[in-house]
Structure 1
Amino acid sequence: MSKLIEPFQIDIPQSDLDDLIARLTHTRWPDQMRDADWRQGIPLDRVKDLAEYWRTEYDWRAAEERLNRFPQFTTEIDGQRIHFLNVRSSRQDALPLLITHGYPSSFVEFEKLIPDLLERGFHVVIPSLPGFGFSAPVGEPGWAMGRTARAWVELMARLGYEHYGVHGGDVGSAISGTVSGLDGEHVAGVHIVTDPYTAAASATFVPWLADKLNPEDAIDKLALQRMEDFRRNDSGYLAIQNTRPQTIGYGLTDSPAMQLAWIAESFDSWTSLPIDTDQLLTNISVYWFTGTGVSAARFLYEQAHSQDWGAPPSVPQGYSVFGADATVRRLIDPAEGTHWVEHDRGRHFPAMEAPEQLAEDLSVFFDGLR
């Protein structure tokens, strides 16, 4: 296995941009029921507005130039191409921080967080999950959370980082926790972001999280209701990707309107503070130009059919809870003495919604672990 680390620059061919414009121009739009709302999916007007902005005003070349200011690399680990950012702080006491994104996100989620982290004394390492963006294609089954965590441990060793922190949200939180369990000798601590949606979704699919809830307790009853609401109203995308990712992949790969709607729905539903439309479209563009809508969906399929959960965290843990309410801690139930910070604003993507608050939380947690 090659341990070669190669510099990487994003350079999407102009023909791909021209093709995107042509496909958006000739989109065949569905109809919509009168007085339709979000209950049946992202509304038609919302997708049309985003698609028209993507087609006529959004500037991919400007986004490409901004992203290429961050040092990027690729390397092969366990037979898989891995793309990653490795952005080093000028501070002598800088702590390497391994950040893992979730679905349907990418390294683009952290674009506005990185400069603040550099000033606060972090070297920032952000890999693209296998099958996501420029960490593609995926050549074989088995790339779920546990295998990814082992690849991240190898990546940090390959970069020469012997003492580092880990951070993540969404599926990135589970991968980060697993990294800390696998490599506790080198990991200073693990920091996780969560919100009521993530907590309810996690408890829905991880039975032992819900087993401790008492349906007679008022707070536990609310948590159980949140879980049921997720099952009934918000789990459709996950059910499809956990069972038939290939089928949805034809639309995601052939239609930019489909890829746009599929991702924008999650960002619209899972945020409570405004996010930059250009940043959202940059994230979607990475999926589109790399054709990784289907392989990213397969990552969730692989995890749904995997028993490889790696190892639990064995280092200090920190949590930043956005849109906090009393149900979250009941569902997550961290160990006594866990670093816990609650924010009443923001939700699932705080690196885009509230990057300053997230950077402050990371600084406070890890400053005591350097």
Structure 2
Amino acid sequence: MSEIVPFAIEASHAELEDLGKRLALTRWPDKETPEDWSQGIPLEYMKKIHDYWMNNYNWGARQSRLNRWPGFKTVLDGLGIHFLHIRSRHEDALPLILTHGWPGSIVEFQKVIKPLTDPEAHGGSARDAFHLICPTLPGFGFSDKPTAPGWNIERIATAWNELMLRLGYKRYVAQGGDWGSMVTAAIGTQNLGNCIGLHMNMPMARPDPDTMENLSELEQEAMAAMKFYKNYDSGYSQQQSTRPQTLGYGLADSPVGQAAWILEKFYQWMDCQGHPENILTRDELLDNVMMYWLPNAGTSSARIYWESFGNIDFNTIELPVGCSIFPKEIFKISKRWAKKRFPNLIYFNALEKGGHFAAFEQPELFVEEIRTCFRTLR
């Protein structure tokens, strides 16, 4: 069994100096031709990001904020995995593993850690307390990068179960969105005997053919969202699932290129009323970008699409499942679609605001969804 060692996020002076030099040497493309985001992230906005990153963004202060939570690394199935582990002061708290996706990171969970671990100080009661484990996906952030094929969703799910056992949690619940939702679902499909329930904020289930003649309003929205994604929003996934290595040369070489690749998705997938900074600060957006730039994880994170994008498992999950559907989510499902895949559906709620990065965008709503879903499993 591998040991668990403390780990703090850190950038060297040389790495920050290199970033500054690359930003100073940025070569800009010409301006987009329409006056909107339909061709991608606008030049004017990226120049504002660039100027702030060079002249105002304080990585030292932001690094300290990220390192206020206990961080660790351990080797799982031959790969070093970085994770946060925050124990509640309530010893009988329910262990919860939170998994991020792409283009996110553990930065997404910064606002929900205290409310989930110390609920009495944040509008809840002691019975709502969780011990939190927030791992970084293989090839993302400060987890190690796979050097051979095979790190698909199923392998990650098995590793996550091993992580929970290694931490002493023989009974736990799991939550995720985006690829984190896929990993969480795979934990449920494998059902190794330790996870007792799941919650997903991008649950995946196929539309039920029997409902096509009388679609509800939510189902109509879901079908429209799938069509939009296919026609206008899936170019990134096609590239990352087929040729991530080719893409990676640009992401590894240009900080502005890496930032644009990520920030365009925050604009598109957040419930942000037309601009990402309506919902997140510029510092928060760049914190997440730095989780890709500093460890040079643009290529290695993209490979999760190459490994798993065309092989999503839609098998039935027998474990208790909760679903929270935020209105600006990429893929949405209805309660009756959910029941087809999750027969033990213990919680379902369609919310009025929020998007793909739920914990980051609407932390109060996210926390209440998690608390409510898992109360019946304590």
TM-score normalised by L of structure 2 = 0.88
Percent sequence identity over aligned pairs: 40
**One-letter identity of the residue aligned with 1:126:** C
Of residues 318, 322, 332, the one that matches 1:318 is 322
Show the counterpart of 1:167: 175
Show the counterpart of 2:199: 191
Given that 2:108 and 2:360 are in contact with CA atoms closer than 8 Å, whether structure 1 keeps it comes out as yes
* Displacement of 1:313: 2.8
Written as runs of structure 1 = structure 2, the 5 A alignment for 1:336-347 is 337-347=345-355
Relative to structure 1, the CA distance from residue 33 to residue 306 in structure 2 (aligned partners, 3 Å threshold; closer, same or farther) is closer
Written as runs of structure 1 = structure 2, the 5 A alignment for 1:228-307 is 228-273=227-272, 274-304=279-309, 306=311
Q: Which whole-Å deviations, capped at 9, do the CAs of 1:173-193 have from their partners, x for residues lacking one?
A: 111121133235222210111
Q: Which whole-Å deviations, capped at 9, do the CAs of 1:200-235 have from their partners, x for residues lacking one?
A: xx67xxxx5465552675755554333222111000
Show the counterpart of 1:132: 140
Of residues 351, 361, 365, the one that matches 2:373 is 365
| Structure 1 CA distance for aligned equivalents of residues 162 and 335 of structure 2 | 34
Relative to structure 1, the CA distance from residue 188 to residue 94 in structure 2 (aligned partners, 3 Å threshold; closer, same or farther) is same
Written as runs of structure 1 = structure 2, the 5 A alignment for 1:3-14 is 3-14=2-13
* Displacement of 1:292: 0.4
Q: Compare 263-272 and 219-228 and name the one that shifted more.
A: 219-228
* Displacement of 1:158: 0.8
Secondary structure in structure 2 of the residue aligned to 1:300:
helix
Show the counterpart of 2:190: 182
Q: Compare 143-152 and 171-180 and name the one that shifted more.
A: 171-180
Q: Which whole-Å deviations, capped at 9, do the CAs of 1:242-274 have from their partners, x for residues lacking one?
A: 111001100100000000000000111111141
Show the counterpart of 2:276: none
Q: Compare 35-44 and 180-189 and name the one that shifted more.
A: 180-189
Give the root-mean-square deviation of aligned CA atoms: 2.3
Secondary structure in structure 2 of the residue aligned to 1:92:
coil
| Structure 1 CA distance for aligned equivalents of residues 50 and 28 of structure 2 | 11
* Displacement of 1:31: 0.1
| Structure 1 CA distance for aligned equivalents of residues 267 and 220 of structure 2 | 27
Given that 1:86 and 1:124 are in contact with CA atoms closer than 8 Å, whether structure 2 keeps it comes out as yes
Given that 1:181 and 1:312 are in contact with CA atoms closer than 8 Å, whether structure 2 keeps it comes out as yes
Show the counterpart of 1:77: 76
Question: Is 1:158 paired with 2:166?
Answer: yes
* Displacement of 1:286: 1.2
TM-score normalised by L of structure 1 = 0.90
Secondary structure in structure 2 of the residue aligned to 1:228:
helix
| Structure 1 CA distance for aligned equivalents of residues 220 and 348 of structure 2 | 23
Secondary structure in structure 1 of the residue aligned to 2:245:
helix
Show the counterpart of 2:59: 60
Secondary structure in structure 1 of the residue aligned to 2:348:
strand
Show the counterpart of 2:212: 214
Relative to structure 1, the CA distance from residue 367 to residue 69 in structure 2 (aligned partners, 3 Å threshold; closer, same or farther) is same
Q: Which whole-Å deviations, capped at 9, do the CAs of 1:89-114 have from their partners, x for residues lacking one?
A: 10122111001101111111101111
Relative to structure 1, the CA distance from residue 276 to residue 332 in structure 2 (aligned partners, 3 Å threshold; closer, same or farther) is farther
* Displacement of 1:35: 3.2
| Structure 2 CA distance for aligned equivalents of residues 211 and 279 of structure 1 | 41
Secondary structure in structure 2 of the residue aligned to 1:328:
coil
Of residues 324, 330, 333, the one that matches 1:328 is 333
Secondary structure in structure 2 of the residue aligned to 1:161:
coil
Given that 1:324 and 1:342 are in contact with CA atoms closer than 8 Å, whether structure 2 keeps it comes out as no
Q: Compare 221-230 and 81-90 and name the one that shifted more.
A: 221-230
* Displacement of 1:34: 3.7
**One-letter identity of the residue aligned with 2:281:** D
* Displacement of 1:277: 2.0
Secondary structure in structure 2 of the residue aligned to 1:40:
coil
